[in-house]
Structure 1
Amino acid sequence: MDKVNVVPSPRTIEYRGGSGPFGGEVRARVDPGLGNEAYRLTVGADGAEIVGGDEAGIFWGRQTLRQLLGPDAFRRAAIGGPPVVPYVTIEDAPRFGWRGFMLDVARHFMPKDGVLRYVDLLAAHKLNVLHLHLTDDQGWRVEIERYPRLTEVGSWRRRSQRGWGWPAQWDYRPHGGFYTKDDLREIVAYAAQRHITVVPEIDIPGHSQAAIAAYPELGNGDVIDVAALEVKTDWGVNPNVLNAEEPTLRFYEGVLEEVLEVFPSTFVHIGGDECLKDQWRRSPAAQARIDELGVEDEDGLQSWIIRHFTGWLAGRGRRLVGWDEILEGGLAEGATVASWKNYEAGIIAAEEGHDVVMCPRSAVYLDYRESEDPGEPVPSGKVTTLEDVYRFEVVPPRLAGTPHAERVLGAQANMWTEVAETPQRVDYQTFPRLVAFAEVVWSHEHDFESFQRRLHAAHYARLDAMGVDYRRPDGPRPWQSRPGIPGYSR
């Protein structure tokens, strides 16, 4: 299997003898009997045939054919002569239906062309979900026509914290940007051509300071001076959260109505994490709301908000997905949990009958540093090596072999960008660990030594051909370091 250098590794492969220059003819057809996203690729002297269980299967078969054609097949223009390919038959199918990558464009904005480039990178690795983290305390990145101040005010901050730590260091350049609706429609359409679904995230009720800075009436004005809030310039968990009043719910319904116009995805992410409730505890309005709704406490108030939007989205044919804190206070039927703190929330959600996307920070947070090397740029989190990601098991042992395991839709790797201020830095944090993740969520065979050999034999060259500024096996290059910028370690 190794000598074909296919990443991810295929389910079955048959060497039919010989190899030769690729003739270039590719024949494709659909056979639904193969199953969703499955394919059979046959390469011979007369070219290649791809039989897919559906159009997505044909597309993934084409990605494997690219791998067989050699690294130059990943360049944007052909160079050199016809590649020599082995004559093989490969039958393959994905292990999970949700094979995702979360890109945080709220903390540091990535222009549209950069996002389109990442769509291509996901497609090359047979990943099929791009989760865009579009709003946070530090920036609002999606145009909402009925609320123009969300981008006029909320998409720009006057400065940015450099790294982590206290006293804070500052980059005094204003930072910002946003996507127009047409930009996002283009991203969605471009991704759909590559059988990738774009899932939008609009944070509710925490991580909302950029929205409150634009529209102060969204905040808890009875306990803080909401008019004094600006788009947040530093990182960390923030006490400034939305109020729970009816006008705020109507505001976010209006936001989501426009989001649904742009994003056809079944799932819509509403965040729901790290909602500190101190302001609600001190707010007479929030306490009156708790009494009015008949919920037990502040956790119950957040649960009521999540339940409201679960039903609101369901009424429009969509499904709510949120981070694991949406379990607090009880979860509405039909809501899906993205389990980030650990495995436990995902296990509980699955056992309670909810669908789950596994993305525990201990295994698949790509913003975490990859080594103890002092040259790692702004080291953060815990050391998460390439092997750590490769050994990530999507279905926890407690669920494996039980009916609850079917509730695990798949997994995603998360790339937060507080200290990843450029596309090059995002590349460095993401690759090659995203390659390891791609194999974990696609393939049933996990052999790290084989994976390493295939990386060195061919896949690093593919990343080079695609222009990815990845982390080299022996550590960061001088231009990838950021000396003097404080990080934090766990």
Structure 2
Amino acid sequence: MSISTNQYLKIFWVTLGAVFFNFYSAQSQPTALEPQKLVANWEINENNYQNKAQFLSTLTLTNKSAGALPAAGWKIYFNFNRSIIPGSVRGTVNIRHLNGDLFEISPRPDFRIMVTGNTTRISFITGGAALNITDAPTGFYFVWDNNPRQGLAMAPVTVTVPTQAEQSLPGAGNGPTITLATPESIFQQNKNTEDIVANKLPQVFPTPATYRETGAEFVLTPEVPIITPNDYFPEAEMLANDLAAVFGKKLTYRNSGEGKAIRLIKKEDFGPEAYELRVTPQEIVINASAPAGMFYGLQSLKTMLPPTALDGKQKSVTLRGVEITDSPRFGHRAVMLDVARNFQPKSQILKILDLMALYKLNVLHFHLNDDEGWRLEIKPLPELTEVGSKRAHTLDSRDNLPPSYGSGPVSNGPPGSGFYTRADFVQILKYARDRNIKVIPEIETPGHARAAIKAMDARYTRLLGAGQKEAAEKYLLRDVSDKSEYRSVQNWNDNVINVALPSVYNFMETVVDEVRDMYQEAGATLQTIHFGGDEVPNGVWVKSPVVQKLMQEDDRFTSVDDMWYFYFEKVNDILKTRNLYLSGWEEVAMRKTEIDGQKHYIPNPGLVNENIHVDVWNNVLGGGAEDLAYRLANAGYKVVLSNVTNLYMDMAYNPTFEETGFYWGSYVDVDKPFRFIPFNYYKNTKTDKFGKPLPKNLFTGKERLTEFGKNNIVGIQGLLWAETIISPERMEYMLLPKLLGLAERAWAPEPEWAIEKDSVKSETQYQQAWSQFANVLGKRELPRLDRYSSGYRYRLPLPGAVVQNGKVTANVQLPGLTIRYTADGTEPTIKSKVYTGPITETGAIKLRTFDSTGRGGKTVRVVNL
């Protein structure tokens, strides 16, 4: 068939028109929004807003995507560790609290489309004050309404740092003024620390019970053998491996030999952790009656090595002659690591065990589960890790837990997700065992148990769907008909196990038996399991049919509060039948009672003779429980001092805005554990967390520790809660150098300044002791940690600086660290000038502390006009 010219032209123009229509249509189609280019910025507008204990802050969303954010059809989620006051949100969005620290932003009808470059501001009021960067919301992610199960990560939140002029924050009403740390205030804190010549410092850390230098020296070379009885072959092997890092080759060890040597000698009549160390020109001798004592003698020998010896390939190392007799002050020298809130890989736990061993800390309290994660494989209950170890976007927690602490919308490993396989945990136990460290596993119950509850819900749903009702209910941890309403301290409304259910005890027995099996496989001693017990909120169980039925059947119960004692009596029985004792937080040893119509907590007389060990943390100044640890010890409970004011290592170092960490209980720098007086912590507790003087009558009427009570103080513990611990580097930053203050106080004899009654003399003695400790850290132990076990990224303190007489004078908390500075506005680097004396340059002077490897800390700025 032929086509006429007119038909041809008609087809041509129609086709051309279609092409242009499609082209322009394509150009006019909106580009898809890229959520990762939605940027959230948070700034604090005003603390003590409206003269109340609250603050106003603003969240600004900026669209940096080529696509538009539409006026509807989406939600944004974020984590925020505070409660937003209802009705206080200002802007064109709603903010709704969901559960825990998870919030949801949704557009209001008046929200307008945000094209590229547009911003929207959202203001809201929050209780309390915001004093550092940890207060910021985090973990923002985006969800389309038409794809509600997929979360899309947004850009990391940015935070506007308050200017210097805004750093003095007035108190609410008649409250105290809160002053954030400045270079000038840090200088004043450091100014009384004496700079001690390195060769005048003791060679062993922590401080031994007795220590004397003889003036002689021993030259250690790789040809020097280790002579040891068979009993100490494992310790000799570890020493040989440690010294291989110094010399590039292992020392040999054998049963006998003459001449120059390191001699490990089994000698009776020593305590299990005691040792003697003697260094002469001819030999190094370590006497001990047990492997633990020998191990600690070897750790002391290792701290005698100059830090630079760990640079390797040394031909020889000279050690000073010493005579040391040593044993620990406390038998329980613990570090609590929380891996539930944020997870740490096995390699990092092994590295922390190396650190603990070097400084003679002998208990790892392993917090393995909480609301936000279950971290240990229990093979009969696979849902614990299949569901309970993963955090990702969800609104029902059926397949995984929701994001917490900024962990984001996807389950892609640490810090939000992860767990230790059975093999991992066995390896950790063996590694700890070989370093004389006991591992106390914590199974947090009945509160702080949401991960376990949701995991067992998943199991229940799976088996119920398969028609296996009896099997489904075997390990159920909640009453499905419970209508109780409550809110935990961390804002969860479904995180407490229902202790009236028989299935709860099936669960506990299965977990306990699996944990015991892992210890047996590792050849590690298990003496106790920690069952938590803290922060169960009011309101739990009151509308549970199962609880009501049990209370009606058993006349022992007078109120729902009695469920608490019922639970821990049952758990205690489970452990006793397995020759274990119960450990827990302080609440395990407490009982509610009424005094003048008001509920109070007193030591529970019903469990006092059950060898229950409790970690007592609550001595919040002004909170009323400042004497709780002493009350429980005096009542007969075995107490591990875990005081928040001095020993919580997740607390921020100081009140500087960019210093990460919480501060609700205190600020905790390395001086806080160092100055802690275990048997009388009232003595030098004179200021609140902001450095303001405490009322002189604060401790009036508080219970003092009796001689009987002293015998019940089994040890002290540093605690690292993990809400802000998002990486191994952050873990090391928060632990170090604080952990060295803990090690000193746990091992060393009671210092003179702690028992001196004359306050002026005591303060002088303390300042002398602090100066020596600070110099040991700055000149020996921190340089050692730069090299030991692949190096630790400890916190480098901010320099202190003042302008005086036209010059900038600087100092540092730990003498031995290097301060470098610039006067041209640039950031100090390893190539910048070293501070050796007052700076005469004018303008903006920036100063920064550096370690022995050239790693720098945060920068401070002063202006010299």
Fold match by TM threshold 0.5? yes
Please say if residues 40 and 50 of structure 1, whose CA atoms lie closer than 8 Å, have aligned partners that are also in contact. Answer: yes
2:210 corresponds to which of 12, 20, 41:
12
Aligned to 2:742: 437
Please say if residues 211 and 323 of structure 2, whose CA atoms lie closer than 8 Å, have aligned partners that are also in contact. Answer: yes
Aligned to 2:613: 336
Q: Does 1:366 find its partner at 2:645?
A: no
1:156 corresponds to which of 385, 390, 407:
390
Q: Residues 422-443 of structure 1, C-alpha deviation per residue, up to 9 Å, x if partnerless?
A: 1100100000010000000100
Aligned to 1:487: none
Q: Residues 214-266 of structure 1, C-alpha deviation per residue, up to 9 Å, x if partnerless?
A: 1123123213599xxxxxxx992534210121111111111111112223321
1:292-441 matches, within 5 Å, as 292-293=553-554, 294-329=556-591, 330=604, 332=607, 333-342=610-619, 344-381=627-664, 382-396=666-680, 400=705, 402-441=707-746
Q: Are residues 221 and 345 of structure 1, via their aligned partners in 2, closer, same or farther at CA, if it must alter by over 3 Å?
A: farther
1:242 corresponds to which of 459, 479, 497:
497
Please say if residues 484 and 543 of structure 2, whose CA atoms lie closer than 8 Å, have aligned partners that are also in contact. Answer: no
1:77-92 matches, within 5 Å, as 78-92=312-326
Instruction: Give the SS at the match of 2:786.
Output: helix
Q: Residues 8-60 of structure 1, C-alpha deviation per residue, up to 9 Å, x if partnerless?
A: 11111122222242244321122231212011001122231111132111100
Deviation, 1:346, is: 2.3
Q: Residues 426-482 of structure 1, C-alpha deviation per residue, up to 9 Å, x if partnerless?
A: 10000001000000010015422221121122111011112111111227989988x
Deviates more, 1:39-48 or 1:170-179: 170-179
Give 1:119's aligned amino acid: L
2:288 corresponds to which of 52, 57, 78:
52
Deviates more, 1:20-29 or 1:105-114: 20-29
Give 2:718's aligned amino acid: A
Larger of the two Rg values belongs to structure: 2
Distance in 1, Cα, partners of 2:750 & 2:711: 19
Give 2:337's aligned amino acid: L
Please say if residues 105 and 132 of structure 1, whose CA atoms lie closer than 8 Å, have aligned partners that are also in contact. Answer: yes
Deviates more, 1:346-355 or 1:290-299: 290-299
Deviation, 1:336, is: 1.2
Whose helix proportion is higher, 1 or 2? 1
Deviation, 1:392, is: 1.2
1:474 corresponds to which of 773, 798, 813:
798
Aligned to 2:21: none
Instruction: Give the SS at the match of 1:351.
Output: helix
1:217-296 matches, within 5 Å, as 217-223=476-482, 236=490, 238-240=492-494, 241-244=496-499, 245-263=501-519, 264-293=525-554, 294-296=556-558
Q: Are residues 468 and 225 of structure 1, via their aligned partners in 2, closer, same or farther at CA, if it must alter by over 3 Å?
A: same
Distance in 2, Cα, partners of 1:34 & 1:258: 36
State, as a whole percentage, how many aligned pairs show the same letter: 31
Instruction: Give the SS at the match of 2:654.
Output: coil
Q: Are residues 237 and 268 of structure 1, via their aligned partners in 2, closer, same or farther at CA, if it must alter by over 3 Å?
A: farther
1:463 corresponds to which of 785, 793, 801:
785
Q: Are residues 292 and 439 of structure 1, via their aligned partners in 2, closer, same or farther at CA, if it must alter by over 3 Å?
A: farther
Distance in 2, Cα, partners of 1:286 & 1:134: 28
Deviates more, 1:106-115 or 1:236-245: 236-245
Distance in 1, Cα, partners of 2:749 & 2:734: 25
Aligned to 2:350: 116
Q: Residues 106-163 of structure 1, C-alpha deviation per residue, up to 9 Å, x if partnerless?
A: 1111111111111100000100001110011101011111111001111101157676
Q: Does 1:185 find its partner at 2:509?
A: no
Aligned to 2:156: none
Deviation, 1:371, is: 0.7
Distance in 2, Cα, partners of 1:162 & 1:377: 17
Q: Does 1:452 find its partner at 2:774?
A: yes
Deviation, 1:80, is: 2.6
Greater relative contact order: 1 or 2 (C-alpha under 8 angstroms, separation 6 or more)? 1
Whose strand proportion is higher, 1 or 2? 2
Deviates more, 1:240-249 or 1:124-133: 240-249
Deviation, 1:170, is: 6.5
Please say if residues 274 and 288 of structure 2, whose CA atoms lie closer than 8 Å, have aligned partners that are also in contact. Answer: yes
Deviation, 1:385, is: 2.1
Distance in 1, Cα, partners of 2:516 & 2:492: 27
Give 1:326's aligned amino acid: V
Aligned to 2:165: none
1:142 corresponds to which of 369, 376, 383:
376
Distance in 2, Cα, partners of 1:150 & 1:235: 23
Deviation, 1:383, is: 1.1
Please say if residues 737 and 795 of structure 2, whose CA atoms lie closer than 8 Å, have aligned partners that are also in contact. Answer: yes
Distance in 1, Cα, partners of 2:481 & 2:511: 24
| Contiguous gaps of at least 5 residues in structure 1 | 164-168, 227-233, 482-490
Distance in 1, Cα, partners of 2:208 & 2:392: 49
Q: Are residues 378 and 91 of structure 1, via their aligned partners in 2, closer, same or farther at CA, if it must alter by over 3 Å?
A: closer
Give 2:618's aligned amino acid: K
TM-score by length of 1: 0.89
Q: Residues 273-312 of structure 1, C-alpha deviation per residue, up to 9 Å, x if partnerless?
A: 1112413122232232234342232332111111111121
The alignment yields a C-alpha RMSD, in angstroms, of: 2.5
Instruction: Give the SS at the match of 1:427.
Output: helix
Distance in 2, Cα, partners of 1:146 & 1:111: 23
1:39 corresponds to which of 249, 272, 275:
275
Aligned to 2:62: none
Distance in 2, Cα, partners of 1:16 & 1:60: 21
Please say if residues 483 and 544 of structure 2, whose CA atoms lie closer than 8 Å, have aligned partners that are also in contact. Answer: no
Deviation, 1:172, is: 2.9
Give 2:553's aligned amino acid: E
Please say if residues 276 and 326 of structure 2, whose CA atoms lie closer than 8 Å, have aligned partners that are also in contact. Answer: yes
Give 1:28's aligned amino acid: L
Deviation, 1:399, is: 5.5
Please say if residues 134 and 142 of structure 1, whose CA atoms lie closer than 8 Å, have aligned partners that are also in contact. Answer: yes
Deviates more, 1:22-31 or 1:52-61: 22-31
Q: Does 1:22 find its partner at 2:220?
A: yes
Please say if residues 373 and 389 of structure 2, whose CA atoms lie closer than 8 Å, have aligned partners that are also in contact. Answer: yes
Please say if residues 399 and 405 of structure 1, whose CA atoms lie closer than 8 Å, have aligned partners that are also in contact. Answer: no
Q: Are residues 358 and 2 of structure 1, via their aligned partners in 2, closer, same or farther at CA, if it must alter by over 3 Å?
A: farther
Distance in 2, Cα, partners of 1:13 & 1:56: 20
Give 2:505's aligned amino acid: L
| Contiguous gaps of at least 5 residues in structure 2 | 1-198, 225-260, 394-401, 458-475, 520-524, 592-603, 620-625, 682-702, 752-768, 800-847, 850-854, 859-865
Q: Are residues 146 and 170 of structure 1, via their aligned partners in 2, closer, same or farther at CA, if it must alter by over 3 Å?
A: closer
